[in-house]
Amino acid sequence: MTAEEILGQRDKQVLEAVVIDYIRTGEPVGSRTVAKKYIPDISPATIRNVMADLEELNLLYRPHTSAGRVPTSLGWRYYIDSILTINELAKRDRERIKRAYEGSPKEIQTILRATSRILSELSKQAAVVLLPKLSQTIFKRIQFVRVNQKQVLTIFIAESGIVQSFLVEMDEDISQDELNKYSRYLSESLKGLSLLEVKKRILKEMEEERILFDRLLRKAIELSKKALQVGLDETDIVIEGQTNLLNYPEFADVGQMKKLLSTFEEKTKIIKLLDKCLSSEGVHIILGSEAEFKDVQNMSLISSTYSRGGDILGALGVIGPTRMDYSRIIPLVDYTAKLLSQIFEDE
Amino acid sequence: MTAEEILGQRDKQVLEAVVIDYIRTGEPVGSRTVAKKYIPDISPATIRNVMADLEELNLLYRPHTSAGRVPTSLGWRYYIDSILTINELAKRDRERIKRAYEGSPKEIQTILRATSRILSELSKQAAVVLLPKLSQTIFKRIQFVRVNQKQVLTIFIAESGIVQSFLVEMDEDISQDELNKYSRYLSESLKGLSLLEVKKRILKEMEEERILFDRLLRKAIELSKKALQVGLDETDIVIEGQTNLLNYPEFADVGQMKKLLSTFEEKTKIIKLLDKCLSSEGVHIILGSEAEFKDVQNMSLISSTYSRGGDILGALGVIGPTRMDYSRIIPLVDYTAKLLSQIFEDE
DNA sequence: TATTAGCACTCTCGCTTAATGAGTGCTAAA
DNA sequence: TTTAGCACTCATTAAGCGAGAGTGCTAATA
């Protein structure tokens, strides 16, 4: 028999009380506290009985004999899935987020950085934004800019307005006028493909013999091939407000703090985590204790996806202690993600 | 009478011993230790007398009565200026640094990031690199790339190979062909000026009436003016290896750690500090206790400048506990700065 | 006169012990 | 089924104590 079937109204009430108080104080909650602050019409003794049941169901546990109860990861999960009701984000927060985007230039890096910043600011935790996968973006234009005899700056412009540039080393000197010709030629012939397709196409064309005779085409292809060699698959993230987390008592210990910081230093893990959220739209909640964050057990991630024209571009989220105010953070992440999608839509 | 006049050979020996041992252990050093490990032909009692003198001169102090001695900031300064002898950087370190630059593309951001990384790695401390001031760089070419109806990507290319791009919002749609014309025109007429001069020139030209009749000129000027409005004076830095510092016992305390991290978070202070080094070439050493780093007293900065053709471009350095191995870090910073300058020279 | 040995003194650090108090589980009564 | 009462557990804190490191001072020595 699962918790789902067996939990009565009062059990839920008690579990919720424990969770809420634990979120507030960070300390184990005792029966007396629950009775007094949350369910005054029931005595502590009764609460204790209920708590014992919940402990048996592995929803609560005690750090030690004479301490209060703390939610287990199963407890958190149950609370999030079956008890928590999510309200709309407060109006002033919504306004605040909107304002964060005003005035700033429309450069994608800047927008996403602003997103990360406002998320961390409002959540008072760490925020993370996964940048759109380059290989997925739809190609719109390419432009070559001569830097000096040996170097050419290659700029990809995506339909979504994402601009990405790479510096490419060249064997021979090519004039800017000629580079402009390449740009025009390639932009015309590759428009509408994803960057991944662009790469495939270029490699294929290089194999075919006919380009041997078309000097213009050959040079252009060669150049863009070099540019595309540079990390197309790499995904990048923006992290902001890591130091916010240091104020939480769960990290008020040198060892924990170091672990926390080294987790953030190794971005790949966080990228992987966010990658998982990309598979489906909407808010995802990953609890550290549910095995994903092996290093920092008491952390969790609330994330959502942002998209443009139905296609998921990337993900964003808030990372904080498992003991966080889900009723506030979930709407925050949700709203921000939707607003961000809308901004991309408008472009 | 200053320390300079009064310190005899032996006083220096003792001061040096205290400094060196303190660098190694991080603990106050007692007379016994000095006698045993560093100056075996003198008894602890004598050392104690010397130490008492040094304490009177404010070169050493005692954390508490029964502890050993620790250098004061004056002590550090004296050690650095008058006692320390600097050897050449070990060959394997030199090779290691050289290798760090191999293979990577010649993009300036990448180079500087690699610099920061290798510095932090070899010093096992935090490394910081101040990017060249944009306003000082010599203009070489400008290029405009149409992103969409409203946005134009403006790319400045400097003589030094620095590439910087800004996204600019436009009122009207301009075709790429036309943008190319602007690029050619402006690149021709502004070549060789510093970006600061470029900006001045553009503002001046806008005032003059004649441009009213030259449509091409007017548009081009307008566009670049907008691009130049964006942070020309802002200086950016690259910081790497902050977490290295967390391993030092001086930061093995939650309060210190938080202070340390928030210092790094507020980059402006570090920028100001490095700015000071720009005024003259060579290695500078700033001790935290000498008032600059107000927040983190026990930290210091060793920095040097890198340049191209005699002009100082930027600065780089290592930030670590005041108790660091100056005899190793100074040559490290020095060598790296020189090598970096050479790389720019070669371009 | 400069150096050194000897010794009493100070202060930190780590350990043990005891007191406190929060919270529990169980039993018996309502 | 709920609740009051009570004995019990265990973390946390404060206090006390001894050991050890290091000093400054004095007197003896080279």
B154 has pLDDT over 90: no
Lowest mean pLDDT among A180-184, A339-343, B17-21, B72-76: A180-184
Using a CB–CB cutoff of 8 Å, tell me whether A271 touches chain B: no
Bigger pLDDT: A347 or B101? B101
Using a CB–CB cutoff of 8 Å, tell me whether A266 touches chain B: no
Tens digits of per-residue pLDDT, B167-177? 887 778 888 88
Fold category of A3-83 in CATH: Arc Repressor Mutant, subunit A (1.10.10)
Calpha distance A297→A290 (Å, rounded): 8
Buried b (16+ CB within 10 A) or exposed e, B204-229: ebeeeeebeeeeebebbbbbbbebbe
- How far is CA A87 from its chain centroid? 22
B321 has pLDDT over 50: yes
Mean pLDDT of B68-81: 96
Mean pLDDT of A82-94: 95
Tell me which of B146, B257, B344 to substitute to probe the interface with A (most A C-beta atoms closer than 10 Å): B257
Tell me which of B143, B256, B295 to substitute to probe the interface with A (most A C-beta atoms closer than 10 Å): B143
Calpha distance B255→B281 (Å, rounded): 36
Query: Class for domain A91-132+235-346, per CATH?
Result: alpha beta
B4 has pLDDT over 60: no
- Inter-chain residue contact A254 with B258, CB threshold 8 Å: no
Q: What is residue B296's predicted lDDT score, i.e. its pLDDT?
A: 79
A34 has pLDDT over 50: yes
What is the percent of chain B where pLDDT is above 70?
93
Q: What is residue A256's predicted lDDT score, i.e. its pLDDT?
A: 84
Bigger pLDDT: A46 or A184? A46
Lowest mean pLDDT among A279-293, B72-86, B114-128, B222-236: B222-236
Q: What is the mean pLDDT of chain B?
A: 88
Mean pLDDT of A4-14: 82
* Structure-block tokens of residue B216: 């091409």
Q: What is residue B1's predicted lDDT score, i.e. its pLDDT?
A: 44
A5 has pLDDT over 60: no
Calpha distance B274→B296 (Å, rounded): 16
Å separating the CA of residue A44 from the C1' of nucleotide D6: 15
Residues facing residue A316 across a β-bridge: A129, A304
- Inter-chain residue contact B246 with A265, CB threshold 8 Å: no
Å separating the CA of residue B254 from the C1' of nucleotide D16: 29
A4 has pLDDT over 60: no
Q: What is residue B104's predicted lDDT score, i.e. its pLDDT?
A: 65
Closest to A198 in 3D by CA, of A232, A164, A238: A232
What confidence category does residue B58 fall into, taking pLDDT thresholds of 50, 70 and 90? very high
Nucleotides in chain C near protein beta carbons (<7 Å): 3-6, 9-12, 21-27
- Inter-chain residue contact B243 with A261, CB threshold 8 Å: yes
Give how far Cα B335 sits from Cα of A128, B91, B303, B330, B344, Å: 37, 11, 11, 8, 14
Calpha distance B105→B262 (Å, rounded): 33
Looking at the C1' of nucleotide D23, which residue has the nearest alpha carbon? B66
Calpha distance B339→A144 (Å, rounded): 30
Mean pLDDT of A232-259: 86
Using a CB–CB cutoff of 8 Å, tell me whether A246 touches chain B: yes
Calpha distance A219→A217 (Å, rounded): 6
Domain map (residue ranges) of chain B: 3-83, 91-133+235-346, 135-229
Answer yes or no: is B53 CB < 7 A from strand D.
no
What confidence category does residue B308 fall into, taking pLDDT thresholds of 50, 70 and 90? confident
Residues of A in contact with B246 (CB under 8 A): 254, 257-258, 261
A56 has pLDDT over 90: yes
Å separating the CA of residue A176 from the C1' of nucleotide C2: 82
Calpha distance A11→A72 (Å, rounded): 15
Å separating the CA of residue B298 from the C1' of nucleotide D19: 31
Q: What is the mean pLDDT of chain A?
A: 88
A1 has pLDDT over 50: no
Closest to A130 in 3D by CA, of A273, A334, A311: A273
Calpha distance A241→A18 (Å, rounded): 28
Task: Nearest chain B residue to A163 by CA: give it.
Answer: B147
Query: Class for domain B135-229, per CATH?
Result: alpha beta
Answer whether B3-83 and B91-133+235-346 agree in fold: no
If one counts every other C-beta atom within 10 angstroms of the C-beta of residue B271, the result is 17
Calpha distance B173→B183 (Å, rounded): 16
DSSP secondary structure code for residue B37 in this structure: I
- Inter-chain residue contact B165 with A163, CB threshold 8 Å: yes
Using a CB–CB cutoff of 8 Å, tell me whether A163 touches chain B: yes
Residues of B in contact with A262 (CB under 8 A): 243
CB A274 within 8 A of CB B276: no
CB B50 within 8 A of CB B10: yes
Using a CB–CB cutoff of 8 Å, tell me whether B157 touches chain A: yes
Tens digits of per-residue pLDDT, B98-111? 999 987 667 788 89
Instruction: Name the minimum distance, in Å, from the CA of A195 to any CA of chain B.
Output: 16
* Three-class secondary structure of residue A104 per DSSP: coil
CB B29 within 8 A of CB B17: yes
Mean pLDDT of A206-227: 71
Tens digits of per-residue pLDDT, B211-255? 555 666 677 777 787 777 765 667 889 999 999 998 898 888 888
Calpha distance B184→B163 (Å, rounded): 17
CATH architecture classification, B91-133+235-346: 2-Layer Sandwich (3.30)
Calpha distance A296→A289 (Å, rounded): 8
Nucleotides in chain D near protein beta carbons (<7 Å): 2-5, 8-11, 20-26
Instruction: Name the minimum distance, in Å, from the CA of B307 to any CA of chain A.
Output: 19
B2 has pLDDT over 60: no
In single-letter form, the type of residue at position B35 comes to A
Task: Nearest chain B residue to A250 by CA: give it.
Answer: B254
Using a CB–CB cutoff of 8 Å, tell me whether A146 touches chain B: yes
Å separating the CA of residue B17 from the C1' of nucleotide D23: 18
Mean pLDDT of A94-112: 86
Q: What is residue A197's predicted lDDT score, i.e. its pLDDT?
A: 87
Q: What is residue B27's predicted lDDT score, i.e. its pLDDT?
A: 95
- Inter-chain residue contact B106 with A262, CB threshold 8 Å: no
Lowest mean pLDDT among A6-10, A79-83, B226-230: B226-230
What confidence category does residue A110 fall into, taking pLDDT thresholds of 50, 70 and 90? confident
Query: What is the DSSP track for A11-49?
Result: HHHHHHHHHHHHHHH-S-B-HHHIIIII-TTS-HHHHHH
Residues facing residue B320 across a β-bridge: B300
Residues of B in contact with A347 (CB under 8 A): 148
What confidence category does residue B265 fall into, taking pLDDT thresholds of 50, 70 and 90? confident
Answer yes or no: is B147 CB < 7 A from strand D.
no
Mean pLDDT of A234-257: 88
| Burial of B119 per CB tally in 10 Å (0-12, 13-18, 19+) | buried
Give how far Cα A140 sits from Cα of A171, A204, B59, B280, B294, Å: 27, 20, 67, 47, 51
What confidence category does residue B6 fall into, taking pLDDT thresholds of 50, 70 and 90? low
What is the percent of chain B where pLDDT is above 90?
50
Residues facing residue B24 across a β-bridge: none
Residue of A147, A246, A347 lying closest to B161 (CB–CB)? A147
CB B166 within 8 A of CB B227: yes
If one counts every other C-beta atom within 10 angstroms of the C-beta of residue B155, the result is 21
Lowest mean pLDDT among A220-234, B67-81, B140-154: A220-234
Contacts of B230 (CB under 8 A, 6+ apart): A105, B166, B168
- Inter-chain residue contact A145 with B147, CB threshold 8 Å: no
Instruction: Name the minimum distance, in Å, from the CA of B166 to any CA of chain A.
Output: 8
Q: What is residue A231's predicted lDDT score, i.e. its pLDDT?
A: 58
Instruction: Name the minimum distance, in Å, from the CA of A228 to any CA of chain B.
Output: 14
